[in-house]
Structure 1
Amino acid sequence: MDYLFQKVSYLQGLADGLNVDENSSEGKLLVHIIDTLGEFAEALEEVSENQMDLEDYVNFIDEDLADLEEDIYGDDFEDYDDFDFEFYDDCCDDEDCGCFCEEDEE
């Protein structure tokens, strides 16, 4: 994310180097656009950090679940990667189930 901050700093430097008049309409617009880009960069960095933390947390949960499955099922446990999910339909005939699909009436 540092590259975003570098680009915003570069734009701020360009605006300063061009002596953008902050009192003119165009100058106000340019300064506010550059400030907004900086705020977007900060928000994006925060989202990225939160996403990485969430990824780590999910990995820890996955490892704990794998340990728990091994403790409960032992060596007889079949890996879900080999499980045939195509055996199950996307919906069932249970009206109370959220996946209920009505058959087309002809």
Structure 2
Amino acid sequence: MGFLSERAAYLKGLADGLKIEDKNDEGKVIAKILDLMEEFAASLEEVDEAVAECEERIDDLEDFAEELSDCFSDCEHEGCDCGCDCDCDDELDDDELDDMEFYEVECPHCNEKVYFDEDMIDGELVCPNCSEKIEIEIEE
């Protein structure tokens, strides 16, 4: 985009060569137009540089995301011994689910029913629907 600044400077030079002065109305208009063209050219050069920098960052982020994806893909199946491409090692089996105790709570903010397990009850509870804090009392 540097050529725009060069062209704006060239036009300003032509106007100077024609001895267009800002003493009459037409000369004032032409001088202001030429100044505006120089400002536009400078702004466009800044935008062009910012776009180039953003494109470079996007390329870097895409490369990083691809590396992360490859890493997670490799790690995802390390613990699985069933021989397939599943994530069965991360899933709870039926016996484990039966042993867990879940609490059904109605969120006082959005009135949706949400479920928390024993481990979650000891910490700060946040409704997954409305993201508001939920305070409960456990009756034992």
Q: Give the TM-score of the pair, scaled to structure 1.
A: 0.67
- How far is the alpha carbon of 1:21 from its aligned partner? 2.0
1:31-42 correspondence to structure 2 within 5 Å: 31-42=31-42
- How far is the alpha carbon of 1:70 from its aligned partner? 0.4
SS of match in other structure, 1:30: helix
Q: Which residue of 1 aligns with 2:127?
A: none
Percent of aligned positions that are identical = 33
Q: Which residue of 2 aligns with 1:49?
A: 49
- In structure 1, give the amino acid aligned to 2:41: A
Deviations 1:9-56 (A, max 9, x none): 111111111111211000000000000000000000000000011111
| Residue segments in structure 1 that go unaligned for 5+ positions in a row | 77-106
Q: Does 1:23 align with 2:23?
A: yes
- How far is the alpha carbon of 1:3 from its aligned partner? 1.2
Quote the Cα distance in structure 1 between the aligned partners of 2:61 and 2:71.
15
Structure 1 residue ranges, 4+ long, deviating more than 2 angstroms after superposition: none
SS of match in other structure, 1:11: helix
Deviations 1:33-86 (A, max 9, x none): 000000000000000000011111111111111000001113x9xxxxxxxxxx
Quote the Cα distance in structure 2 between the aligned partners of 1:73 and 1:58.
22
Q: Give the TM-score of the pair, scaled to structure 2.
A: 0.52
Q: Which residue of 2 aligns with 1:61?
A: 61
- In structure 2, give the amino acid aligned to 1:60: D
| Residue segments in structure 2 that go unaligned for 5+ positions in a row | 77-140
Kindly indicate which of the two structures has a greater share of residues assigned to strand.
2
Q: Which residue of 1 aligns with 2:71?
A: 71
Which has the higher Rg, Structure 1 or Structure 2?
2
- In structure 2, give the amino acid aligned to 1:73: S
User: How many residue pairs align between the two structures?
Assistant: 75
SS of match in other structure, 2:7: helix
Kindly indicate which of the two structures has a greater share of residues assigned to helix.
1
